[in-house]
Structure 1
Amino acid sequence: MEDIFSPDRRYKVSFGSYEVRMSHWIDQPYLIRVSDNVSLFNLNADVWSASNVRWLDDSTVELYMRKYPGLVACTLTLNALTNHASAVNQTASFAGAFSELKIWLLSL
């Protein structure tokens, strides 16, 4: 997948894609601040894949995520400017800092 830039191009979502099984791909998203190429949020320790990404404003991105093999899914909202995140899935929700969101997601 190609990088998806915020409207003001200060942030982007990049992807690390890899094949887990024949024809089964994981597209792990990385929220990156463009000015210094710092990764603000990633889940590179697990098999979460983004299937839909859209910017809500200049610093807030919404990602629809699925955990391979697809039995768990949730929608993440990340504000790169404030380090605030929220998540909603079929049974639970979360709100807090990026680091706390990562812990919450890895526990699902």
Structure 2
Amino acid sequence: MSEDMVSPDGNYKISFSSYEVRMSHWIDQPYLIRVSDAVCLFSLDADGWSAWTVRWLDDSTVNLLMRKYPGQIECTVELNAGTNQAHAISRSASVAGTFSAVKEWVLELN
């Protein structure tokens, strides 16, 4: 995924930092950006987390299916940019809270 995925109202976007980790194995790290001032509101810029699917649910809520390379760890993260609230679900647990709390939880998944 190299193209930005813009919210329906154009106020937010998911941008990607893509890099190859092995031949034909790519990491697409997502960044939730507020378009008006280019501030990054949420990112998982560590540990090889890659966005597999990205879907805008409304003007400020995005759903991301994330996988951690190279293992079998995955989770779904839903972010509401308007409220700074998120929730994430893995195979065995879930969390809800602020962007920073959800980010911390996801980065601790093993």
TM-score interval (norm. to shorter): over 0.9
| Mapped partners of 1:70, 1:7: distance in 2 | 33
Q: Are residue 61 (structure 1) and residue 62 (structure 2) matched?
A: yes
| Mapped partners of 1:45, 1:51: distance in 2 | 16
Identity of aligned residues (%): 68
| Cα distance, 1:14 vs structure 2 | 0.3
| Mapped partners of 1:35, 1:75: distance in 2 | 26
| Cα distance, 1:70 vs structure 2 | 3.9
Give the length in aligned residue pairs.
108
| Cα distance, 1:22 vs structure 2 | 1.2
- TM-score, reference length from structure 2: 0.96
Q: For residues 27-86 of structure 1, what are the alpha-carbon distances to aligned partners after superposition, in whole Å with 9 as ceiling and x for unaligned? A: 000000000000000011221000100100000000000011141011110000100000
| Mapped partners of 1:43, 1:62: distance in 2 | 14
Q: Which residue of 2 aligns with 1:28?
A: 29
| Cα distance, 1:19 vs structure 2 | 0.7
| Cα distance, 1:7 vs structure 2 | 0.2
> Structure 2: which amino acid aligns with 1:80?
A
**Over 4 Å off, 4+ runs:** none
> Gaps spanning 5+ residues in structure 2: where?
none
> Gaps spanning 5+ residues in structure 1: where?
none
